[in-house]
Structure formats: C-alpha cells, structure tokens
Amino acid sequence: MNEQPAIFVECGADLPWVKDSKFTFTRKHYMTPQQVDEFRQKYNNAGVYMTMMQYINPVWYQNDKKKWLINAGESLKYGDFYLDFDYPLQTDDDFDKIKFDVSVAMRYLKLILAVEPDQVNLYFSGQKGIHLTVDAAVLGLQPHYSLNMIYKEIFNDIKKYCLHDTMDPKMYDDKRMFRMVNSFNIKGQRYKIPVTYQELTNMSLQDIRNLAMSPRQLRKPPPMLSQRAKLALEKYIKTWTDRANSRKEFSGRMRKLEELPICITTMLDKTFRETIDGRNNACAALASFFMQQGMEREEALARLVLWGEENCVPSLPSREVETTVHSVFNGQYRYGCETFKAASGVCDKVNCPLFRGKAIG
C-alpha cells in the first residue's frame, strides 16, 4: 500500500503592533492544510496569510537557531495558478485600470487555455488589489519542483497584453503567500472577499468596498479539467525544462575582478539566509553587475551557482540561479546603485570606483 504524502503549507500573520509605520509580520508557521483554520482563529481571522504552494514531502533543514524550516526551493510543489493585480486605488479611474487588465487575463485564459470564466476565481483583497486564481485541477496539474516559475511563464505571456502594469511580477518566489479568503485586511479595514466577474465589471470602487464590509460566500461549480489547458501547461513545463537543461558548463578561466565597490564585495562575501536577507534580489543584482562589466553569461552563471552554494543558507538551488541569470541577461536589466545598496545594505560613494569612473574587471 502506498503511503499518503505529507503535505505542508506555511502561514503568516500581521501582528497587532506597528513598527516604523509598518506592520510587524510573523511567518514560518508550518502546518498541514487541515490545521490552517486553527491558525486563522488564533489570529482572529485578521491579517492572516498562507502560501500559494503546498509542499509535498518537503525537504527540511535547521537554521542557525536550530529551528526546522522547509527548504521551499528543493521541495515538490502543488497549488492553484494565481495572478495579483495591484494598484493604488484612490479613484474609479484607478479601479478601471485593474478591471481592464483583469479582462485581458480572463480573455487569455478563455481563448488560449480554454478555461471557462466560471472556473476562474476572483477576489477583492480588501485594500487595493484583485486576486485571480484557477484551481490546479482545472489545469490537470501534476506536482513540480519549479511550479512557481512555470506559473510565472504564464504570467509573462498574459502581461504582454495588459496596458496598465497592474500585474505584480514579484509574486512568484516559492514561498509567496496570499491573504486568506474572507479574512480581515487590517490595512484596508475590509475583508478579502470572492466576487464574480460581472460584479467586478459593473461595480464602482465604493460599491466593492461596501460589499467587503463582511465575509461572503459564492456558489461555484466544481473544478472541471480543461484538456487544452492541460496541454498548454505541459508545453510551458517543457519550455521551462528545456531552458533549464540547456545551460552550458563554463570551462574557461575566470577573470580576476579588481577594485570592486563595497556593495558588490559585501554581497559576494555575505551569508544570505532564506526569507531574511533577500538572496534572490542579491543574485539578480550581482548578475546585472557582472553583465554590465562585460562578463560572459556562462561565467556569470558559474560564479553565481557557486555563490548560491557557498553563501546561501540553505543553498540557493542552481535552477533558481539559472532562472535569475538568464532573466537578467535576456532582459538586459541594468541595475544601479540603489539596487546594489538595497541588496547589500552598504554604500560608499566617496570611495566607489564606479563614481570615480574606473573600469572594473
């Protein structure tokens, strides 16, 4: 008899006190899906979140405080497809921007993936956004280690057709949380509620805020598999896998990097811890710096794979490094001092070789 897999999620919550005008947040609360309601009740159904991904037979590790954590990057993942439409909502014109981009996503799901509108779930976040999800069963999904990045591939295709830049691209790390449905949004002072597409289309911003004064339930048809969506998802997975497997091993001689800015040396020497130190952002910043200094992609990738193994706790999976490096080089993302300072925590403009105009490398 096959044993049932162990399935875990991570939950988090806004805490009732504020520090530096920001809510304090607690996370790394791991539990089975059946325990989530208990967590929700513990925090009075206010400011509560859960990861979009479920971790199947997850890989565990101990941090420096001897606490057991899930290594999300190395764990098998399963979860619904999701999009986050986020925009500062002050007027109905602002709300119309979100509505338009949501309509684009709905058309894409219908025409390209053959997902019927009644199989799409829409939620008002309780403050300034709309969340869209499609049940994994509709897509015929099988668990995948890089599911979050595969979903980002779909996100990237949809985003091409949106006009107002309301879709949030930062939602596709492997520990991303969404606010729990029908929980109270402390910041927005409303509930995250399900809405129909017709309601979203026809309601004003004030109408939908009024509707979100209390939780609500909507009757939805059960998830129905879309064969076309399943085939499309399989193509996304193949594209992702082919690209991940196409990396050339770097066999050349690595250049000696001289007189690096302190922000870069700090990132190269620092130990980055998962969920704490923004290691993915640091990886992207370093990749951009290497690219701007004329380094070949293969050398940058080789350097950063090693950096991810030696400077990240737990190690940053090589496939995440590959994704970041390819994204930076393909998009020619030229990050500057503000990004380097944010990722490293240091800056010394007076003695910085970049400001003195000296070549590096």
- In this structure, the number of other CB atoms found within 10 A of the CB of residue 219 comes to 4
- Written as six digits, the tokens of 140 are 């015929």
pTM of the model: 0.73
Query: What is the rounded average pLDDT of the residues 341-346?
Result: 89
pLDDT of residue 4: 86
How far is the CA of 299 from the CAs of 1, 101, 248, 277, 280, in angstroms? 48, 39, 10, 24, 18
Most confidently modeled range among 22-36, 63-77, 109-123, 345-359: 109-123
The fold of 7-239 is Alpha-Beta Plaits (3.30.70)
Q: Which residues contact 280 (CB under 8 A, 6 or more apart)?
A: 173, 316, 320, 324
Strand partners, 178: 50
Q: Is 334's pLDDT higher than 90?
A: no
Query: What is the rounded average pLDDT of the residues 16-32?
Result: 79
Calpha distance 315→74 (Å, rounded): 10
Q: pLDDT tens for residues 148-170?
A: 989 999 999 999 999 998 999 88
pLDDT of residue 249: 52
**Domain locations along the chain:** 7-239, 262-344
pLDDT of residue 24: 85
Question: What is the DSSP pairing of strand 81-86 with strand 129-134?
Answer: antiparallel
pLDDT of residue 66: 83
Calpha distance 297→288 (Å, rounded): 10
- Written as six digits, the tokens of 210 are 């009024």
Q: Residue 74 has what DSSP assignment? A: G
Most confidently modeled range among 114-128, 164-178, 273-287: 114-128
Q: pLDDT tens for residues 31-68?
A: 999 999 999 999 999 999 999 999 999 999 887 778 89
Query: What is the rounded average pLDDT of the residues 89-102?
Result: 93
Task: Say which amino acid occupies 38.
Answer: E
Look over the chain and give the mean of its residue pLDDT values, rounded to a whole number. 88
- Written as six digits, the tokens of 121 are 């779930």
Q: Is 333's pLDDT higher than 90?
A: no
Strands (E), the chain: 7-19, 22-31, 48-51, 54-56, 60-62, 68-70, 76-78, 81-86, 120-124, 129-134, 177-179, 184-185, 190-191, 193-195, 272-273, 312-313
CA dihedral in degrees (14, 17, 19, 20; nearest 10)? 100
Q: pLDDT tens for residues 259-290?
A: 788 999 999 998 888 765 688 889 999 999 99
Q: Which of 142-146, 228-232, 241-245, 333-337 is the least confident region?
A: 241-245
